[in-house]
Amino acid sequence: MVKVLSSREGYDLYANEYAGDHRKLDSFDRPDFMQLLPDKADVAVELGIGDGRISGEIARRSENFVGIDISLKMLQNAIRRSPRTQIVQADLAENLPLGDECVDFLVAAFYFVHIKNPDLIIAEAARVLKPGGIFLFNLIPQRREPELKAGKQRFKIRSYYHSPPHVEKILDYHWFNWDVTTVTEGKGWVSKIYRCQKT
C-alpha cells in the first residue's frame, strides 16, 4: 500500500521533482489562468506558492509579492525561481496570516485540491482582500491522489475533491462577484478558474 502523506511531508519530499511536472500542470489551464491576472497590484499574495511555477509573472506585476506555503523545501525553490518574492512558511488550511483588507490580489493555483474546508479559505479571502480586490483560483476534478515518486520512495499527497456548485455557493455567501472559465478536454472539464471580486 502506498502511503498518503500530509502536504507538508509530501511536498518536502517531492520539492525537487516538482519542476518535472510543470509542463503537465501548465497544460491544464496556464494560458487562461495567466490571462486573468490583473495588470498591476500593490500587494499580491500567492497561497500554496509551491516552487513558484507561475510566480514570476505575478511578481513582475506587483509592488509587493508574498508567497506562502506549508513546505519549506518548496519555498526554497520558489525563492530561487523568483527572487523578488517575500516568502512565509505557514499552514493555510484554516486561516491566513494576514491583516484585514490589506491585499489587492490573492491567487491560489492547484491549491484548493489540498484543502479540506474551502469555506474557511474563502471566508479568509473575503476578510483579507481590500474592497474591489481579486481572488483568482482554480478547481480540478481530481478524485484520487496520483502516485508520486522521489528517489526510491513512492507516496501520495492527501487531496480533496470539491464540487464547483458547492464552492460557488460559498462565494455567493460571501458576496463575491465571480466569473468562471471552464477549460475542457474531450468530453469533460480539466480546470475551472474562478475570478472573484470582493464587493
Ligand X SMILES: C[S@@+](CC[C@H](N)C(=O)[O-])C[C@H]1O[C@@H](n2cnc3c(N)ncnc32)[C@H](O)[C@@H]1O
Q: Which residues bind ligand X (CB under 6 A)?
A: 7, 11, 25, 48-50, 53-54, 69-71, 74, 91-93, 109-111, 114
Q: How far is the CB of 46 from ligand X (least distance, A)?
A: 7
Output 167-170 pairs: Cβ under 8 A, ≥24 positions apart.
167/112, 167/118, 167/122, 167/139, 167/194, 170/118, 170/119, 170/122, 170/123
- Closer Cβ to ligand X, 154 or 172, answer by number: 154
Q: How far is the CB of 190 from ligand X (least distance, A)?
A: 14
Phi, psi of 9 (to 5 degrees): -70, -45
Q: How far is the CB of 25 from ligand X (least distance, A)?
A: 6
Phi, psi of 87 (to 5 degrees): -105, 150
Phi, psi of 62 (to 5 degrees): -120, 150
Q: How far is the CB of 199 from ligand X (least distance, A)?
A: 26
Cα–Cα distance for residue pair 189/97, rounded to 1 Å: 33
Closest residue to ligand X, Cβ-based?
A: 50
- Closer Cβ to ligand X, 161 or 175, answer by number: 161
- Closer Cβ to ligand X, 26 or 131, answer by number: 26
Q: How far is the CB of 189 from ligand X (least distance, A)?
A: 18
- Closer Cβ to ligand X, 18 or 176, answer by number: 18
- Closer Cβ to ligand X, 2 or 199, answer by number: 2
For residue 131, count other CB atoms closer than 10 A to its CB: 8
Cα–Cα distance for residue pair 183/138, rounded to 1 Å: 10
